[in-house]
Structure 1
Amino acid sequence: MDFFLNHHIAFSLLAGFLLDCILGDPHSFPHPVRFMGFLISFLEKRLNKPSDSEKIQRLKGSFLVFIVIFTSFLIPSAILYACRLIHPYLFLAAESIICYQCIAAKSLCAESSKVYRELKKNDLEKARKAVSMIVGRDTDILDQKGVAKAAVETVAENASDGVVAPIFFMAVFGATGGLVYKAINTMDSMIAYKNERYKNFGFCAAKLDDLANLIPARLSAILMIISTLILAIFPAKQRFHPINAVKIFLRDRYKHSSPNSAQTESVAAGALGLQLAGDTVYEGKVEKKDFIGDKLREIEARDIVRANVLMYATTILTVVISILIRLGY
């Protein structure tokens, strides 16, 4: 018992990852991110006033960030403390469930695979609808290659902030660290837009997300490069190019408005021999973006599968390394 408790983070991480592999994200199961989203929305509607000055908007946005982070830390900490008082195994079970809810590997794979299946059936309308569930861009103007590219980019980018980064924070700070990271990431996705409504109110959330992902994004890219090398060793239908992954990563990792978003996307582009990113349409307006990667070949639906293989390989490598470090190896 003492061994399990002394290394509870390692075992909870492993259990959480296995639960995610088996169960994914059941929509009927209460998820802490949904509660975070409700709290963020509740506070934003009451605090974000267009009539406020820029300084007041930033102060109110910072207050929202504080409340959401404090709540995301306090509630699970209290639950885990109570479980530990009742029984050590209950504590381990609760911590494992929290770790499971912080990892989104299967959900990311499942949602992007829906896009792949519709493209394979040549049903462009359903493919557009499927990809609209995981990207923020306008999808009704995308052709088949555009839909495939959007899905690949989402898998590549979210391999970091949806999978590796939560694992990193849980490995360092425990399950509550993972939930605090998810709170930061959720705030970024909800209120950190560069429009009139959120550019000041969401300023703190955006900067905090950049800071929180500073190390995980680069760590994710390095682990993805290593995964590309491992995958390239095994003969398979998938195509991975580790040397090109390193080349594109070194060249294109900062070709994004965010300092972190292109880290894993550049690795994936190089590993798959694709050209990703480029101009994108949001709400009818074209947003100019640099291309990431070289077009060594045309993108195809199968690249969504390849991106998921690369994402899962990176996830497994992250989990294994995290567990070994926590066990003291």
Structure 2
Amino acid sequence: MFKLEVLIILIIALIVDLIISDPDWIPHPVVLIGGLISTLEKYLLKNEDSPQRAKIKGAILVVIVLGLSYYLSYLVVVLSGQLNNYFALMLKIFLLSLTLALKGLIDAGQEVYSALKASDLKLAREKVNQIVGRDCSQSSKQEVIRAVLETLAENTSDGILAPAFYYLIGGLPLAVTYKAVNTMDSMLGYKNDRYLNFGFTAARTDDFFNYIPARLTAILMSAAAFLLHYDFRGALKTVFNDAQKHPSPNAGYPEAAAAGALSLRFGGINYYHGQKSFRAYIGQQNKKFELADILKLNMLIYFTVGLFFISAAAIFVLI
């Protein structure tokens, strides 16, 4: 019964996310976590630090951020429960909804789609630049579509299934902790002079936390491709053949599933801070990128999330 209640709370939280997403009237946990990371970085990282010292300080930051994220969210759950059980339940659902990003992810893709449909390539570039790490300010229409597809696929794991997965196995505190892990990686996990050593532990921690969710996303996304009559075999083939070609040990799995399902080829030339970079190809380019591919991937994401909940319910019934 307890496990079923946990799943029901997660489903309600997802519905809340779909209705209100991230309201402006409350500070988002990621913003608060980001402020903590920035403050700690300011006090810990010094220009004169040796590589080893920078690594140690980076590890200290990770321990502090993870510890505070877990403890404070646990404290919120306990204290709210002591005040009123119904209040505690509503607060838990609301906070959990803030760790999920289904509506935000779909809306981000839809904004790029709408701009391209209106033949406003400049606006589409601006919109896609808000959700990707690369520079798309000079990208063609085809490259803009590729960029948004790649980030939508990757964030199906990072922004939706991973926090949901960690909530199911560890409650709200672990879901919030995962968001802290993800935020640390997005802020510190760069391979440049400043963060190569200081961000080392943050990046490796993110790799660890995303290992299972990324592969689970790929499996579910491939199954969703079957239900939608997309290229199911192509999805599986691309996951097995190309997922490990991605520079990230995890991001390649949902990207490979999406590329295969849509009969596309991800990867190629990207630009980062004005520098040209080639990313290994993932998938076989059976057709050109089309505007409708964004809508198809949105539907694939919805079905993938639905299969996650169905699978979780089945597991709870069996055990």
TM range (shorter): over 0.9
Compared CA separation, residues 286 and 318, structure 1 to 2 (3 A): same
1:299 has 2:289 as partner: yes
Aligned to 2:228, what secondary structure does the other structure show? helix
Q: Is the 8 A contact 2:117 2:291 kept in 1?
A: yes
1:317 has 2:314 as partner: no
Distance 1:288 1:35 in 2: 34
Gaps of 5+ in 2: none
1:103 has 2:100 as partner: yes
Instruction: Tell me the residue number matched to 1:236.
Output: none
Per-residue displacement from partner, 1:67-98 (whole Å, max 9, x unpaired)? 11111111111111011112222222122112
Q: Which amino acid aligns with 2:128?
A: V
Instruction: Tell me the residue number matched to 1:123.
Output: 120
Q: Which amino acid aligns with 1:319?
A: F
Q: Percent identity at matched positions?
A: 38
Aligned to 1:278, what secondary structure does the other structure show? strand
1:247 has 2:275 as partner: no
Instruction: Tell me the residue number matched to 1:78.
Output: 75
Instruction: Tell me the residue number matched to 2:179.
Output: 182
* Map 1:9-158 → 2, pairs under 5 A: 9-158=6-155
Instruction: Tell me the residue number matched to 2:211.
Output: 214
Residue 187 of structure 1 and its aligned partner are, at CA, apart by 0.2
TM-score by length of 2: 0.96
Q: CA RMSD in A?
A: 1.4
Residue 311 of structure 1 and its aligned partner are, at CA, apart by 1.1
Per-residue displacement from partner, 1:242-261 (whole Å, max 9, x unpaired)? 01111111110101111101
Instruction: Tell me the residue number matched to 1:287.
Output: 277
Aligned to 1:30, what secondary structure does the other structure show? coil
Aligned to 2:48, what secondary structure does the other structure show? coil
Gaps of 5+ in 1: 233-239
Distance 1:26 1:194 in 2: 33
Q: Is the 8 A contact 2:4 2:313 kept in 1?
A: no
Instruction: Tell me the residue number matched to 1:277.
Output: 267
Per-residue displacement from partner, 1:11-54 (whole Å, max 9, x unpaired)? 22111111111112223332111100111111112211121111
Aligned residues: 319
Q: Is the 8 A contact 1:11 1:323 kept in 2?
A: no
Instruction: Tell me the residue number matched to 1:235.
Output: none
Q: Is the 8 A contact 2:3 2:316 kept in 1?
A: no
Q: Is the 8 A contact 2:231 2:263 kept in 1?
A: yes
Q: Is the 8 A contact 1:214 1:260 kept in 2?
A: yes
Instruction: Tell me the residue number matched to 1:159.
Output: 156
Q: Which amino acid aligns with 1:268?
A: A
